[in-house]
Amino acid sequence: MGAGGLSKPVLVIGGGIAGIQASLDLADQGIKVYLVEKLPSIGGKMARLDKTFPTLDCASCILTPKMVSVARHPNIELLTYSEVVEVKGSAGDFNVKVLKKPRYVDEDKCIGCGECITKCPSKVPDEFNMGMSQRKAIYFLFPQAVPLKATIDREHCFYFTKNICRVCEKFCPTKAINFEQKPETLELNVASIIIATGYELMDPRIAPTYGYGKYSNVYASLEFERLVSSTGPTGGEIMRRSDNKHPRSIAFIQCVCSRDVKINPNCSAFCCMASVKHAILAKEHLPEVDCTIFYMDLRAFGKGYQEFYNRAMKEFGIKFIRAKPAKIEEDSETKDLIITYEDTFTGVKKTMKTEMVVLAVGIKPVYPEALPLTIGEDGYIRLKNPSIDPVATTIDGVYVVGVAEGAKDIPDSVIQAGSAAIKASILAGGVIYERST
């Protein structure tokens, strides 16, 4: 049953790995899918990862083919740089308004050559690289972006801010630049909605004792992820902000802005294994570096996770200290960090000097405001009956997948996406075919 058959469309909100998988699973059943993503490209947080745990597989090698499949699938209409602003109706008959923001670039004409980017004189911090590099006011979100269409950042474009320049317009070979482009409202009618809006990192400055934003060599976990990535700001070299030198020691601190009743009581689920991965990657990049992980409780609950932890200790010599550091101070001359902590096994107060600190920062869910969702005490979207239906929200016909529902890793997000796709396909009236790989 194709998109033009008896089935009704399904709306997927969020273009991370969970939204991508749900869209492909639905589209392979012959169901029309509208995939709405607020950023200029799909990919979500996974697009920023260098490797995945516990296998250390290349993240982009897994994700990029799926992104391309979304763009090429005849049953998927991809609406990037767009947001859902209104939802009315009920299960089987939702009327949805989507605001498509202007890129100031004609997507049909843009060929992704990047000529406009090389000529643009305006530089701003690159949010994809966590502000550790710069991008232009006209840009691709990242090199493997889907769609690979340029976007003009109105807040930093010299034409919009100073009424000068327009150099991108002059050098575009296909005349794709359109400074007169306006926001567009699209009206959709869908049978079901899948929410896959993901998460944001907590601001580690909420926990000031760790010195994030104050000491140059204290990093958030996603910043370190970009440091070790070959597509990151340093081309995969681990270098300190203070002196651009390789660190000889790195301390990884768990549960920053998570498992803390004053800030965020929730466990973020994937941080333990992410830090183990980061320490292993650090040792692979810099074999002589000394890596220490400070943890409250190490949660190695997934398939292969305990073995991954064991490998970190035995093969790579990574040290684990059961402690939550009380404070971090900086040596003003060397810019090294001094960690004060109490070893919870011995009860002894200790200090340790290290050249770099990486904070495993907690997360908070993101969800669309256009839907009257019920939010639980934990801050995540509440399910109608979590014991027997792990994807159905309290609104009939609306399903939630990935971290918007609760903290989880990539495999669990993908499993949940497949579950929601089956539920949504029943309302849409589709036929199940073989799943996309």
Specify the amino acid at residue 128: F
Q: Grade residue 7 by pLDDT with cuts at 50, 70 and 90.
A: confident
Which residues fall within 8 angstroms of residue 406, CB to CB, at 6 or more apart?
A: 269, 378, 380
Q: ω into residue 147 within 30 of 0, thus cis? A: yes
Please say if the pLDDT value at position 75 is more than 80.
Answer: yes
The model's pTM: 0.94
The C-alpha atoms of residue 31 and residue 76 are separated, in whole angstroms, by 8
Bridge partners, residue 11, by sequence: 34, 193
Tracing tokens 């034409």 back to the chain, one arrives at 159
Q: List alpha helices for 9-53, DSSP H.
A: 17-27
Please say if the pLDDT value at position 414 is more than 70.
Answer: yes
Burial class (CB in 10 A: 0-12, 13-18, 19+), 287: exposed
Q: Grade residue 430 by pLDDT with cuts at 50, 70 and 90.
A: low
* Predicted local confidence at residue 261, as pLDDT: 85
* Predicted local confidence at residue 345, as pLDDT: 87
Per-residue pLDDT tens over the stretch 164-175: 999 999 999 999
Spell 140-155 as b/e; 16+ CB within 10 A means b.
Answer: bbbebbbbbbbbbbee
Please say if the pLDDT value at position 177 is more than 60.
Answer: yes
Query: What are the structural domains of the chain?
Result: 10-101+183-198+366-428 (3.50.50.60), 115-171 (no CATH), 203-362 (3.50.50.60)
How far from chain centre, in Å, is Cα 229? Answer: 15
* Predicted local confidence at residue 262, as pLDDT: 87
Token pair of 147, please? 């769609």
Which residues fall within 8 angstroms of residue 262, CB to CB, at 6 or more apart?
A: none
What phi and psi values does residue 188 have, to the nearest 5 degrees? -120, 150
CA angle (316, 407, 270) in 5-degree steps = 0
* Number of helical (H) and strand (E) elements in the chain, helices listed first: 9, 24
Please say if the pLDDT value at position 436 is more than 90.
Answer: no
Tracing tokens 């317009």 back to the chain, one arrives at 169
CA angle (107, 108, 109) in 5-degree steps = 90
Whether 71 and 37 have beta carbons less than 8 Å apart is answered as: no
Token pair of 220, please? 């958030």
Q: Grade residue 2 by pLDDT with cuts at 50, 70 and 90.
A: very low
Please say if the pLDDT value at position 380 is more than 80.
Answer: yes
* DSSP states along 136-203: ESEE-SSTT-SS---EE-TTT-HHHHHS---HHHHH-TT--B-TT---EEEEEEESEEEE---EEE--
Per-residue pLDDT tens over the stretch 270-297: 999 999 999 999 999 999 999 999 999 9
Please say if the pLDDT value at position 213 is more than 70.
Answer: yes
Token pair of 211, please? 């010195």
* DSSP states along 293-360: EEESS----STTHHHHHHHHHHTT--EEEE---SEEEE-TTT--EEEEEEETTTTEEEEEEESEEEEE
Average pLDDT of the chain is 95
The C-alpha atoms of residue 134 and residue 232 are separated, in whole angstroms, by 11
* Predicted local confidence at residue 5, as pLDDT: 53
* Predicted local confidence at residue 6, as pLDDT: 65
* Predicted local confidence at residue 260, as pLDDT: 87
